[in-house]
């Protein structure tokens, strides 16, 4: 039997993701994994005066990614890509929100200070000339040029619907607004979702024009519009609010997509799983149980519920043993394994991929 | 004269206008401000806490109840202060250094106020030194540490270590999405709460008040 090549292959990975989106499998499920680098990446050193300067320095971000990708061969179906990123509130910045940067994430300063301000927001068109969006565009252009087709450029993180509003208003005040004037908030959300779709359209067209496939921080592949819809605000609200307010907004945002995987974040959001599974354009679910809430093996019932509803699942396994246990329990169809703990070396990674092949036969 | 039970029901339902009106009517009829707080408002928030623990209500409903109580307290606090009546227990709360998330911390703070604790909210990104200084300054019975990011859990551990090393009698309670009872035990915290409803029960136990 010919020895299998376990290095990343765009053609093979694309075919595996094509099958996975539809709840099926090819030779095996898609697998995302990492190997500890033999040599540390010679990344450029940051001499930035502030974290903000570092985050928004497109050249530095692209060179850092290039150094990392160059020193870390990609295995399995882990797309070797650069993720242009300023944090989760990028769409909120289109409406004037400023970001505050931490080491590994950013926060949004609120610009909607009282209920009546939503009318002003609804009358405000999104501003794609703001420095955050411009930084993302610069990162995309620089990366496509620097990588020369060797690595891929991913879509940025676009949080939609009520997460945009929460960024502008703060989640607690948004909760109160939903009680005080639900129809005003619904109109505001529809406006936010239109901006989200325009942001997506711009990113999609730009990356497509550069010959990039559709991928993002959630490292799938698809040749056509695909994204990872989400609503972290879900964890705060009842099933009724999820059904009456959030479901229509997510439907609006997923209407133009060919493929979608919903990012369901945290046990407090799990009571909305039924609603998520009824989204008409949904292909898959990324269930993020989060740190402190066990391993993927502890959440088999959630995965089974998704599979029984005809949706594919991404498994966020802690390590190889966790991933293999879930694979044995669920079977290989409609399953995408992501192994969080890096393998010590390439031999361990390829041995794991071989085992996934055998279990998928 | 309205009954205190009517006030309790108004708070639990988050009816701000009714809560304020009933408070005014009770005061006008001669009810003691302390009774209005302890027998009218606090039981209303206790109902809310129980409903939240059972997933019968969620954050928006909890927030409207807290807002109703806050409006009533605006009327009552000057009267309580002039009579020299203060909450029996004082709590310090904040999100640990490096973490700017605040909703979990705010919910706990709100529920503690609802249980008639005096709460000093230090905000987000709070250093261990700042917690320590506030605990000393206010002679706090309880310090609450919140974290949402796994990357800031070490800061929580350091803060607990520094507070313990200072030898204060203050109890330390921790919480947040990535925090578990096991982690709380490991870092030497006195208590852990999984949600805002439970946080009241744990806080009462830690300060020695029957839950």
* pLDDT average, residue stretch B71-99: 93
How close is the nearest chain B Cα to the Cα of A176, in Å? Answer: 6
**Which residue spans of chain A are classified as CATH 3.20.20.210?**
56-72+81-214
Q: Where in chain B do CATH 1.10.1240.10 domains reside?
A: 4-82
> At residue A290, what are phi and psi to the nearest 5 degrees?
85, 160
CATH number listed for the domain at residues A56-72+81-214 = 3.20.20.210
Vertex B97: Cα angle to B94 and B101 (nearest 5): 60
pLDDT band at B21 (very low <50, low <70, confident <90, very high): very high
Place A99 in a pLDDT band, splitting at 50, 70 and 90: very high
What pLDDT band is residue B196 in, cutting at 50, 70 and 90? confident
* Mean predicted lDDT score pLDDT of chain A: 96
Contacts B100 to A, Cβ<8 Å: 100, 102, 107
Considering the four listed CATH numbers 2.130.10.10, 3.40.50.280, 3.40.50.300, 3.40.50.1820, the one that applies to the domain covering B89-207 is 3.40.50.280
Residues of each domain in chain B carrying CATH 3.40.50.280: 89-207
Reported as a single tens digit per residue, the pLDDT across A14-38 is: 999 999 999 999 999 999 999 998 7
- A2 falls in which pLDDT band (50, 70, 90)? low
Residue A325 pLDDT more than 70? yes
> Is B151 within 8 Å of A104 when comparing Cβ atoms?
yes
Asked whether the beta carbons of residue A292 and residue B179 sit closer than 8 angstroms, the reply is: yes
Of B140, B29, B52, B155, the C-alpha closest to B104 is B52
Query: For the residues A102-121, what does the mean pLDDT come to?
Result: 95
* Cβ–Cβ gap A238/B58 under 8 Å: yes
Q: Is B61–A238 a contact, with Cβ atoms under 8 angstroms apart?
A: yes
Quick check: A292 and B149 CB within 8 A?
no
Q: Reply yes or no on whether the pLDDT at A52 is more than 90.
A: yes
Look at B60 and A237 and tell me if their CB atoms are within 8 Å: yes
The alpha-carbon gap from B160 to the nearest alpha carbon of chain A, in Å, equals 19
Answer whether A100 sits within 8 Å of B178, measured CB to CB. Answer: no
pLDDT in tens, A276-288: 999 999 999 999 9
A189 touches A195 (CB < 8 A): no
- Nearest chain B Cα distance for residue A144, angstroms: 31
Integer Cα distance of B182 and B161 in angstroms:
16
Q: Which residues of A touch B183 (CB under 8 A)?
A: 292
Residue B58: list chain A partners with CB under 8 A.
Answer: 236-238, 241
Give CA–CA dist A6/A75, Å, rounded. 6
- Quote the ipTM score: 0.91
Q: How far is B90 from chain A (nearest CA, A)?
A: 24
At A222 the three-state DSSP class reads strand
**Chain B residues with CB within 8 Å of chain A CB:** 14, 55, 57-61, 63-64, 67, 98, 100, 103, 106, 149-151, 177-180, 183
Chain B interface mutation, best of A110, A176, A180, A185, highest count of B Cβ atoms under 10 Å: A176
Question: Which residues are CB-neighbours of B136 under 8 A, at least 6 positions away?
Answer: B166, B168
Would you give the distance in Å from CA B35 to the centre of its chain? 19
Contacts of A178 in chain B (CB under 8 A): 60
Q: How far from A288 is each of A121, A264, A303, A338, CA to CA, in Å?
A: 32, 6, 11, 12
The alpha-carbon radius of gyration of chain A (Å, integer) is: 20
The reported pLDDT for the residue numbered A321 is 98
DSSP A232-273: GGGGGS-HHHIIIIIHHHHHHHHTT-SEEEEEEESGGGGGGH
The chain B residue lying nearest A178, using CA atoms, is B60
Average pLDDT over residues A117-142: 98
Q: What is the CATH number of domain B4-82?
A: 1.10.1240.10
């Amino acid at each position: 039997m010919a020895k299998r090549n376990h290095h990343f292959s765009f053609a093979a990975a694309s075919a595996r993701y094509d099958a996975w989106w539809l709840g099926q499998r090819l030779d095996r499920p898609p697998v995302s994994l990492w190997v500890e680098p033999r040599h540390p990446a010679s990344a450029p050193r940051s001499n930035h005066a502030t974290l903000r300067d570092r985050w928004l320095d497109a050249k530095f971000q692209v060179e850092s990614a290039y150094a990392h990708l160059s020193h870390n061969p990609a295995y399995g179906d882990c797309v070797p890509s650069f993720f242009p990123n300023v944090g989760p509130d990028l769409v909120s910045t289109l409406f004037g929100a400023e970001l505050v940067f931490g080491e590994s994430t950013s926060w949004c300063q609120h610009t909607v200070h009282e209920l009546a301000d939503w009318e002003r927001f609804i009358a405000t068109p999104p501003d794609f000339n703001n420095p955050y969006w411009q930084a993302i565009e610069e990162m995309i252009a620089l990366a496509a040029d620097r990588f020369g087709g060797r690595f891929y450029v991913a879509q940025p993180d676009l949080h939609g619907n009520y997460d945009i509003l929460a960024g502008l208003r703060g989640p607690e005040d948004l909760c109160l607004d939903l009680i005080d004037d639900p129809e005003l908030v619904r109109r505001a959300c529809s406006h936010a979702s239109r901006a989200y779709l325009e942001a997506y359209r711009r990113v999609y067209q730009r990356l497509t024009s550069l010959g990039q496939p559709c991928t993002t921080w959630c490292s799938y592949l698809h040749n056509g519009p695909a994204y990872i819809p989400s609503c972290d605000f879900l964890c705060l609200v009842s099933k009724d609010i999820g059904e009456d307010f959030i479901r229509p907004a997510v439907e609006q945002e997923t209407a133009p997509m060919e493929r979608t995987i919903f990012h369901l974040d945290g046990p407090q959001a799990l009571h909305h799983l039924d609603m998520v599974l009824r989204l008409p354009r949904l292909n898959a679910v990324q269930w993020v149980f989060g740190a402190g809430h066990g391993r993927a093996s502890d959440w088999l019932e959630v995965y089974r519920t998704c599979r029984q509803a005809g949706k594919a699942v991404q498994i966020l396994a802690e390590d190889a043993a966790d991933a293999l246990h879930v694979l044995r329990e669920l079977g290989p169809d409609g399953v995408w394994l992501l192994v969080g703990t890096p393998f010590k070396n390439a031999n361990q990674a390829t041995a794991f991929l071989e085992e996934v092949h055998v279990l998928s036969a | 004269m309205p009954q205190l039970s009517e006030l309790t029901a108004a708070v639990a339902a988050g009816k701000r206008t009714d809560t304020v009106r009933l408070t005014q009517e009770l005061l006008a009829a001669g009810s003691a401000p302390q009774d209005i707080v302890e027998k009218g408002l606090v039981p209303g928030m206790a109902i809310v806490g129980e409903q939240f623990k059972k997933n019968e209500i969620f954050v928006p409903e909890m927030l409207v109840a807290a807002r109703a109580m806050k409006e009533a307290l605006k009327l009552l606090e000057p009267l309580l202060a002039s009579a020299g009546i203060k909450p029996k227990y004082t709590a310090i709360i904040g999100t640990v250094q490096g973490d700017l998330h605040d909703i979990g911390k705010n919910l706990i703070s709100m529920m503690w106020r609802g249980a008639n604790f005096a709460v000093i909210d230090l905000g987000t990104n709070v250093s261990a030194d700042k917690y320590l200084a506030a605990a000393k300054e206010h002679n706090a019975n309880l310090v609450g540490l919140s974290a949402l990011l796994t990357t800031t859990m070490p800061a929580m551990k350091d803060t607990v270590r520094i507070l313990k090393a200072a030898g204060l009698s203050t109890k330390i309670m921790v919480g947040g999405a990535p925090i578990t009872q096991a982690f709380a035990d490991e870092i030497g915290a006195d208590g852990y709460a999984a949600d805002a409803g439970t946080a009241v029960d744990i806080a009462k136990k830690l300060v020695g008040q029957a839950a």
